[in-house]
Amino acid sequence: MISEFQDLSDKIERLAALVGSLRSENAQLRQTNVLLNEVNTALIERLVEAQRRVEAVIEQLPAPAAAAEEDGDDSTNAEATR
């Protein structure tokens, strides 16, 4: 009977140690999660800024129709000189 209580006591101690270990791991994972969320937010902000810059550059490009006309003029001039 005493050995059964000792076995139960040992199991309870192991369980308490496991709970403590899991709580510690959980706290560490929460801190890591917070840090990774901050990094993710910063990367999203950089991505949005890069997208804004690319869109600004695209707006400065000539219209596709104007580019097609220029290509057509070059081929016409090349044929005329032959």
What is the residue range of 72's domain?
Answer: 2-80
pTM of this structure: 0.59
How many domains is the chain built from? 1
**What is the C-alpha to C-alpha distance for residues 1 and 5, in angstroms, rounded to an integer?**
6
Tokens of 39: 């990094």
pLDDT tens string for the chain (82 positions)? 889 999 999 999 999 999 999 999 999 999 999 999 999 999 999 999 999 999 999 999 998 875 566 666 555 555 555 5
